[in-house]
Chain A
Amino acid sequence: MSIGKDSLSPVTGDYRAPFPFSGTIHRVEVTFLPFQSPSDEKKEARDRYHTEMARQ
């Protein structure tokens, strides 16, 4: 996760990475929503597995 900058190759040449935010970030809040059901959690794990394997 990149906060306040774009860490990877930029999608357009209109700006130069990492193009950092020029102000001050005082606080970052990340909220993870709970799973609605055990089957949602299983599906998420399965999707994450397929995503990771597809990158190899």
Chain B
Amino acid sequence: MIPKEPFKGVLGRTYQESSPWWPEPKRTSENNPNVIIILFDDMGFSHLGCYGSTIETPNIDRLAAGGLRYNNFHTTDLCSPTRACLMTGRDHHTVGMRSISNINTGFPNTQGNITPHAATIAEMLREEGYATFCVGKWHLAQTQDTSTAGPFDQWPVQRGFDRYYGFLDGETDQFYPSLTYDNHPVDPPFGPEEGYHLTEDLVDHSMEFIRDLKSLRPDRPYFLYLAFGATHAPHQAPTEFINKYRGRFDAGWDVIREQWYKRQLDMGIIPEGTELAPRNPGVKPWSLTAISIPTIMWSDRDRKCRWAQARSGYVSPGWIKKGSSPSWLMEWNAGPWKCLPYCAVAAPA
């Protein structure tokens, strides 16, 4: 790396009168743990098992059992602003991301990019000697700048990340995604006929980046920011994951949310005396949704049940398929470094 400090050696007239100098490289220590942020998208506060859901998330639940659960993380209700806050630790208006990166109003608070005057966590950790990996959804570059023509200055690789594999825009097909690898477009490695799903592909590439680092430099810590497309639209999950939830939500959203609310109270996720929020404006009581008529195409109610099944199936694939325990997280904990996995749930983001 080109040193930023001025040369501190001696430049004499001859070699004998000169002395070389090398800047002291950043030394990391066991006080520098590996850091992983795993971000889900548009996931509800109660959608994980360890937060009261009946959706099965055994690996996440196991992580939670060995750590801490926070219950007061607030999002901005939109993707890019929430991610801008997470990346910079600052208010999204201040860093130029009032709304999604698709919007640039021409005013400083809504530029569609994070201002270069605010550093991302990756930029800061890289200065301290960390390897930095971004996998999955970015949605922090202006939409018109996400083609193969760039400009690339707001892509992950130029906002502090050494490596990138994911999709630059707000959403993508989970079976046929539009992918970017570092700074260039790539096709998915294989198709859904061979079992492809983006969630699993993102986990595979996270492991690849960590392996590339730790197999050669076990002493260097890493920062991994893994942002799944799940569970943002399109709600596309492998069929076997959708089918396992068949019938589980037929009671409808009013009954299910009441169940999850009670579970949260029992688990202490929400304090005693918390009232369940009313339905969002525009959401009908379940009893008023249309009931199916067998000879006609799916009714409104059938469709909504199917969506709930798809969304539930959407949560799990990368975790279930990669082993019964999150061993891949622990696998590359070479040396004395501790791994601090941190699951952030953005709801909705």
The verdict on B309 contacting chain A, using a C-beta distance below 8 Å, is no
A56 in contact with B173 (CB, 8 Å): no
Q: Determine which of A8, A53, A55 lies in contact with B173 in the assembled complex, contact meaning CB atoms within 8 Å.
A: A8
* B102 near A52: Cβ-Cβ < 8 Å: yes
Nearest-CB residue, chain B, relative to A7: B176
CB neighbours (8 Å) of A39 from chain B are none
Is A37 part of the binding interface, using a Cβ–Cβ cutoff of 8 Å? no
Q: Is there an interface contact between B103 and A56, defined as CB atoms closer than 8 Å?
A: no
Nearest chain A CB to B77's CB is how many angstroms away? 9
- Asked whether any CB of chain B lies closer than 8 Å to the CB of A18, the reply is yes
Give the complex CA separation of A18 and B99 in angstroms: 33
Residues of B within 8 A of A55 (CB): 170-171, 233
A56 to B191, CA, bound (A): 26
Given known pairs A16-B191, A16-B193, A49-B103, the reply for A56 and B176 (CB within 8 Å) is no
Interface size class of B (residues with CB under 8 A): 10 to 19
List of A residues within 8 angstroms of B173 by Cβ: 7-9
Inter-subunit contact A7/B103 (CB<8 Å): no
CB neighbours (8 Å) of A7 from chain B are: 173, 176, 178
Closest to B105 in A: A49
Residue ID in chain A nearest B171 by CB atoms: A55
Q: Which residue of B lies closest to A8 (CB)?
A: B173
Docked-complex contact A56 and B100, CB < 8 angstroms: yes
B234 / chain A contacts, CB cutoff of 8 Å: 9
A56 to B173, CA, bound (A): 14
Known A8-B173, A9-B173: A52·B100 in contact at CB below 8 Å: yes
Interface residues of A in 20-54 (CB under 8 A from B): 49, 52-53
Inside 8 A of A49's CB, which chain B residues have their CB? Answer: 103
A-chain residues with CB within 8 Å of residue B176 when the two chains form the complex: 7-9, 17-18
**CA A55 – CA B79 in complex, angstroms?**
10
B78 is an interface residue with CB less than 8 A from chain A: yes
Establish whether residues A56 and B178, one from each chain, have CB atoms under 8 Å apart when the complex forms: no
A8-B173, A9-B173, A9-B175 known; A56+B236 contact, CB < 8 A? no
In the complex, besides A7-B173, A7-B176, 6 extra interface pairs with C-beta distance below 8 angstroms are A8-B173, A9-B176, A52-B102, A55-B171, A55-B233, A56-B348
Question: 28 A-B pairs, CB-CB below 8 angstroms?
Answer: A7-B173, A7-B176, A7-B178, A8-B173, A8-B176, A9-B173, A9-B175, A9-B176, A9-B234, A9-B236, A16-B191, A16-B193, A17-B176, A17-B191, A18-B176, A49-B103, A52-B100, A52-B102, A52-B103, A53-B99, A53-B100, A55-B170, A55-B171, A55-B233, A56-B78, A56-B100, A56-B170, A56-B348
Interface residues of B (CB under 8 A from A): 78-79, 99-100, 102-103, 170-171, 173, 175-176, 178, 191, 193, 233-234, 236, 348
Closest 6 CB pairs of A and B: A52-B102, A8-B173, A9-B173, A9-B175, A8-B176, A17-B176
